[in-house]
Amino acid sequence: MIGIPDERWGERPLACVCAAPGRQGDPGRARGVPALSRGGPLAGAVSWTFVAEIPKTAVGKFDKKVLRTKDAAGDLPIERI
């Protein structure tokens, strides 16, 4: 998850979801994201986006700076829950 700008709260969480290999074309994949956000691993997220892969740093951590840069450029299609 990364923080994205929000007019009311200043910043809100955005869940960046990477689909399992071979499931990118599955139309049912989007229906499960809101369910995950209710008390699950994406709790607190009010928006989400699918990404092809989660960028990582040299030591293997998620590179949130890259995701924030993509968001600022408008390259992440964001959906509200």
Provide the CATH number for the domain around residue 47: 3.30.300.30
pLDDT band at residue 33 using 50, 70 and 90 as cut-offs? low
Please give the tally of structural domains in the chain. Answer: 1
**51 is in which domain, residue-wise?**
2-22+29-80
- What is the pLDDT averaged over residues 15-36? 62
Count Cα neighbours of 49 within 13 Å in the Cβ-side half-sphere. Answer: 20
What is the C-alpha to C-alpha distance for residues 1 and 62, in angstroms, rounded to an integer?
Answer: 10
pLDDT tens, residue by residue, 60-78: 999 999 999 999 999 888 8
Q: How many CA atoms lie within 13 A of 40 on its CB side?
A: 10
Cβ atoms of residues 2 and 67 within 8 Å? yes
Confirm whether pTM is higher than 0.95. no
